[in-house]
Amino acid sequence: MQASGAALALDLLGDAWVLRLLRSLFRGQRRFSGLIKETGVSRAVLADRLERLCGAGLIRKAESPGRHAQYWLTDCGLDFWRVLLAMWQWESRWGTGLVRPPIPYDRPREEPVHIDCGEVADPRPVCDCCGEVVTAFETRGEITSVTPTSGPLTDSAPAGDTQRRFRQSHSARRDDLPTLMRVYGDRWNSSVMAAALQGARTFTDFSEATGIGAGPLTRRLQELQAVGLLRSRAYAGSRSEYRLTSAAVAMFPITLEIIRWGDRWLWQGQPPMTIRHLRCGQAFRLRWQCAHCQQALERSKLRFD
Ligand SMILES: [Zn+2]
Ligand SMILES: [Zn+2]
């Protein structure tokens, strides 16, 4: 992936632990020992990731004599709530989040509540300009990672059926990393996904778009198929063509939020990509809307704890 706020964000996230820690911090956990308990991370890894998050400005360490240090989200860290909301929205439809009990520890909350209407938030990604619900097929990015090209990206089975089948066939074991962590906690997987959204289909396409070596690329393509995000078909004899599944296309708002957050906090200067909403023709800004009361969702209006 070329240099961009999103690439910097994915570099920073780097692995699944960072996402887990952020979720735990959003739930209100502030102490070293509490973070270990909630996420199962080792002391050494936790110390390293907290340092990384401090260095990138997402959290700050507060120390006072005789008390345990606390880790607080900064404005930059708090602004990450939209990425987590987008992830929650995907998980509630496609992920293992519906498997309960128990509540997987890497969800921000079992059911984030919209304070304004008192309902469990059912966030919808809409265009801030025209108010229409947005899908991956209705936007065009100039330059990088979320540009759908011509032609259908997926099979068009009814969403409800596809979601059910996806969940049934990919209900993760408890010790398994959830699908999202596989994608956004591994920068090569996220590069492969971005390339697929840009229209990469063949091994050669992916190789050229991502610059990943043949061995690691083969493993990424296999892994993304195993978690149900890519599907391969025979093409030209022994070759395969790879397509995103509906579950993968539904990750589009997460990608948008990572781009937005990365451009805002990690990128200096003009964002390297503009996204246009094809329906209204305006520069696209994503707004999360409560499906119950139609109000825009704000962090202060959601209970994550
Ligand atoms: Zn629009
Ligand atoms: Zn509401």
Q: How far is the CA of 121 from the centre of ligand 2 (A)?
A: 6
Per-residue pLDDT tens over the stretch 265-291: 888 777 767 788 989 999 889 999 999
- In the chain (305 residues long), the average pLDDT of successive 10-residue segments reads 65 76 87 92 95 94 92 94 85 58 43 85 91 83 44 45 64 50 77 83 92 94 89 83 89 86 82 82 92 90 73
Q: Look at residue 221 in the predicted model and tell me its pLDDT.
A: 95
- DSSP one-letter string for 201-248: -BHHHHHHHH---HHHHHHHHHHHHHTTSEEEEEETTTEEEEEE-HHH
Q: How far is the CA of 72 from the centre of ligand 1 (A)?
A: 36
Q: Look at residue 78 in the predicted model and tell me its pLDDT.
A: 92
Per-residue pLDDT tens over the stretch 88-101: 888 777 765 433 33
Q: Look at residue 287 in the predicted model and tell me its pLDDT.
A: 94
Q: Which ligand sits nearest to residue 282's alpha carbon?
A: 1
Amino acid at the residue 155: D
Residues 263, 144 contacting (CB under 8 angstroms): no
Q: How far is the CA of 298 from the centre of ligand 2 (A)?
A: 10
Q: How far is the CA of 272 from the centre of ligand 2 (A)?
A: 34
Q: How far is the CA of 278 from the centre of ligand 1 (A)?
A: 7
Q: Which ligand sits nearest to residue 287's alpha carbon?
A: 1
Q: Look at residue 165 in the predicted model and tell me its pLDDT.
A: 65
User: What are the Cα distances from residue 238, in Å, to 120, 203, 218?
Assistant: 49, 12, 15
Q: Look at residue 14 in the predicted model and tell me its pLDDT.
A: 65
Q: How far is the CA of 174 from the centre of ligand 2 (A)?
A: 32
Q: How far is the CA of 122 from the centre of ligand 2 (A)?
A: 8
Question: SS3 string of 251-288?
Answer: CHHHHHHHHHHHHHHCCCCCCCCEEEECCCCCECCEEE
SS3 33: helix
Neighbour-count burial of 152, counting CB atoms closer than 10 A to its CB (0-12 exposed, 13-18 middle, 19+ buried): exposed
Closest CA to 131 of 298, 292, 260, 282: 282
Neighbours of 112 (CB within 10 A): 24
Q: Which ligand sits nearest to residue 138's alpha carbon?
A: 1
Q: How far is the CA of 288 from the centre of ligand 1 (A)?
A: 13
What is the token pair recorded at 289? 């809307």
Q: Which ligand sits nearest to residue 292's alpha carbon?
A: 2
